[in-house]
Amino acid sequence: MNRQEAIKAYAAWGAVCLFWGTTYLAIRIGVQRLPPALFAGVRFVIAGVIFLTYLRLRGHPLPKPGEWVHLAVVGITLLVMANGLVVWAEQWVPSGLTAVIIATVPFWAAGLEAILPSGERLSLRKVLGIAIGFAGVIILFAPDLGGSFDRAYLKGVVVLIFVPFFWSLGSIYSKRHPLQSSAMVAAGTETLIAGIVLTVIGTALGEWKEFTLDWEGTASMVYLIVFGSIVGYSSFIYALSKLPVTTVSMYAYINPVIAVILGWLVLGERLDWSVATATTVVLLGVALVRSAKT
C-alpha cells in the first residue's frame, strides 16, 4: 500500500470513527418511533439502491455471479445480525451504553484472528492494550449496573453481547475473501442484500402496521441512510480492504465517547466524572493496540 492509499484508508477509518459514533443516537431516536426490522431494512434498501445506482452511472460493474454468495455472507453477518440486533436492542438500551458494549469488537476481532491460520498473533503490548481498553469500558459501564434492570432492558443488554462477535466474524470473513469488485460496489451490494433480508423479516413480523413516519423518524432514517450507510459503511469496507482487521475495528473504542456525549446532550443520558476517566483509559488502550506488532 503506497502513501496515497494509506492516507485514503486512514481517512476512511476516521470517517467510520466519527459518523458511526453518531448513529447510535439516530438509531435510538428512530427506533422509538418505527419498528426495528423495517426501520433498519427500509434504510438499507434505500441506501443500497442509491449507492449502486450512483456507482453504475459512474461505470462500475455489478459483482460477478460467483461473488454474490460472499457478499451475502458479509452483508447478513454485519448488517442483519450485528446492526439489526443493535437496532432491536436500542428499543430499551440507551445509545451510549449500547456503544460501550459494542466497544468490545476489537477484543473479539483480535481473539478470532489469533486462532485462525496465518492470523494476527496477540503480542504482549496488544494484550495489554486490550486489557486497558476493556478496563475503560468497565469504568464507563459500571454506574449503569446499579440502575433499573427491568426484563426488557436486560434482554437488550444480553442481545448486544452477541453483536461484537457477529461484527468481528463478518469483518474477518470479508478480509479473508477479497473480491474483484470494488470495495464501494461490495458495500452497496451488501447494504441492499441486508435491507431486503431485514424488510422480509419485518414483513413476516407484521411490522408494516406500525410503520408510520413522523418528522423525527424520517430525520433519523435520512441521517442513517446518508452518514450511517452510504458514507459510514462504504468507508468501513474500504478501510477493511486496506488495513488490518484489528486496526479497523478500533473505531469501536472511539464511538462510545461520541455516543455517550451525544446521548447526554440530546436525550439526557448519563454523563459524569467516570466518562472522562473512561475516555482517557480507553484511548490509552487504543494507542497501545495500534502501536502493537504481531
Can you give the pLDDT at residue 154? 79
Q: Where is mean pLDDT largest: 9-23, 60-74, 173-187, 191-205?
A: 191-205
Residue pair 124/52 in contact by the 8 Å Cβ criterion: no
Please check the confidence at residue 91 and state whether its pLDDT lies above 90.
Answer: yes
- What's the grid cell of residue 174? 470479508
pLDDT band at 112 (very low <50, low <70, confident <90, very high): confident
Q: SS3 for 72?
A: helix
Please check the confidence at residue 143 and state whether its pLDDT lies above 80.
Answer: no
What single-letter amino acid sits at 255? N
Which of 67, 89, 55 shows the shortest CA–CA distance to 193? 67
Can you give the pLDDT at residue 145? 61
Eight-state DSSP code of residue 250 = T
- What's the grid cell of residue 54? 450512483
Helix ranges (H only) for 58-146 are 68-75, 84-89, 95-102, 105-115, 124-145
Specify the higher pLDDT residue, 57 or 115.
57
Determine the Cα–Cα distance for residues 287 and 82; give it in Å rounded to an integer: 26
Determine the Cα–Cα distance for residues 274 and 142; give it in Å rounded to an integer: 9
Specify the higher pLDDT residue, 180 or 34.
34
pTM: 0.83
Task: Say if residue 118 is exposed, middle or buried (CB neighbours under 10 Å; 0-12, 13-18, 19+).
Answer: exposed
What single-letter amino acid sits at 277? T
Residue pair 253/282 in contact by the 8 Å Cβ criterion: yes
Overall domain count for the chain: 1
Determine the Cα–Cα distance for residues 254 and 18; give it in Å rounded to an integer: 8
Domain coverage including residue 103? 3-291
Q: Where is mean pLDDT largest: 6-20, 105-119, 136-150, 263-277?
A: 6-20
Determine the Cα–Cα distance for residues 163 and 22; give it in Å rounded to an integer: 18
Can you give the pLDDT at residue 244? 82
Which of 204, 195, 279, 196 shows the shortest CA–CA distance to 229? 195
Determine the Cα–Cα distance for residues 124 and 289; give it in Å rounded to an integer: 10
Which of 9, 14, 6 shows the shortest CA–CA distance to 254? 14
pLDDT band at 179 (very low <50, low <70, confident <90, very high): confident
* Least confident stretch, 66-70, 97-101, 146-150, 180-184: 146-150
- 191-249: per-residue pLDDT in tens? 999 999 999 999 999 999 999 989 999 999 999 999 988 888 888 888 888 888 777 87
Task: Say if residue 67 is exposed, middle or buried (CB neighbours under 10 Å; 0-12, 13-18, 19+).
Answer: middle
